């Protein structure tokens, strides 16, 4: 897993979600130390309260992300975190539009447009922009319609010179914890179409360079075949 012929460096993101313990931190760091000489971008997203613990103990080659943020620097937004706060504690990335944020907290395209607009234009933090369809949408044949709509929403706020700060993460909700597994071929088909869609709305150079990663129940038994697909540039795990 390394930079491919199109110049796209493989990307692995680890989303800890709402999980943390000292033992988990130690185990993750033990694993990360073994990746020092691997040609891969590694980004971990611990819960916000424990980011400092992780930063103080992680290997130097590992980057850090927030799991979410709001589209303002400060103010009366109880429970929210600003991109500036993430940067202050050492984050260089933020995850936006994760499927759990969309389904459990009802985040929609309009809100996510505000978030990515703020992050890219008010800070220097990079974005993992998540998209993905539900099982019902998949079975109704709406996969392309849904993911293209979600990408289009992000694209409305991304200028051509900002795509190098964005990674697209395709995470089909129907393949997460349902027992249904997306085949490498199914994932490749969506990624290839997404790349063509991005090219249509930007240019061929941006489409060739942007990384599109996969986040649907990636594990040790399927990651190798997934990584061999030409348009799968990494994983969002967790």
Phi, psi (5° rounding) for residue 21? Answer: -160, 160
Which one is catalytic: 71, 98, 107, 148? Answer: 98
Q: What angle, rounded to 10 degrees, do the helices at 143-155 and 184-201 form?
A: 40
Rg of the chain taking only CA atoms, in angstroms:
17
CA distance 47 to 37: 27
Other beta carbons within 10 angstroms of residue 161's beta carbon come to 8
Expressed in angstroms, the distance from the first to the final Cα of the chain is 19
CA distance 169 to 35: 22
Query: Of the candidates 123, 44, 130, 129, which has an alpha carbon nearest to the alpha carbon of residue 81?
Result: 123
Which one is catalytic: 71, 133, 171, 191? Answer: 171
| CA neighbours closer than 13 Å in the CB half-sphere of residue 181 | 9
CA distance 216 to 143: 14
Q: Where are the alpha helices (DSSP H) in 67-108?
A: 83-88, 99-104
171 is catalytic: yes
Query: What is the set of active-site residues?
Result: 98, 171
């Amino acid at each position: 897993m390394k930079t491919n012929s199109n110049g796209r460096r493989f990307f692995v993101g680890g989303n800890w979600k709402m999980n943390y313990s000292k033992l988990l931190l130690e185990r993750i760091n033990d694993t990360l130390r073994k990746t020092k000489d691997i040609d891969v971008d590694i980004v971990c997203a611990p819960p916000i309260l424990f980011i400092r613990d992780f930063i103080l103990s992680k290997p130097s080659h590992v980057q850090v992300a927030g799991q979410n943020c709001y589209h303002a620097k400060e103010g009366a937004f109880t429970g929210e975190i600003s991109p500036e706060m993430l940067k202050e504690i050492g984050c260089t990335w933020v995850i936006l539009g994760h499927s759990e944020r969309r389904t459990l907290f009802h985040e929609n395209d309009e809100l996510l447009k505000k978030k990515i607009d703020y992050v890219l234009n008010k800070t220097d933090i990079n974005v993992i922009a998540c998209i993905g369809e539900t099982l019902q949408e998949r079975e109704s044949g709406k996969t392309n319609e849904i993911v293209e709509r979600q990408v289009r929403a992000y694209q409305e706020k991304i200028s051509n010179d900002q795509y190098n700060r964005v990674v697209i993460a395709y995470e089909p909700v129907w393949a997460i914890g349902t027992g249904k597994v997306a085949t490498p071929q199914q994932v490749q088909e969506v990624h290839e179409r997404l790349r063509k869609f991005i090219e249509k709305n930007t240019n061929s150079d941006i489409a060739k360079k942007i990384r599109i990663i996969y986040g649907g129940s990636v594990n040790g038994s399927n990651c190798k075949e997934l990584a061999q697909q030409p348009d799968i540039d990494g994983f969002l795990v967790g």
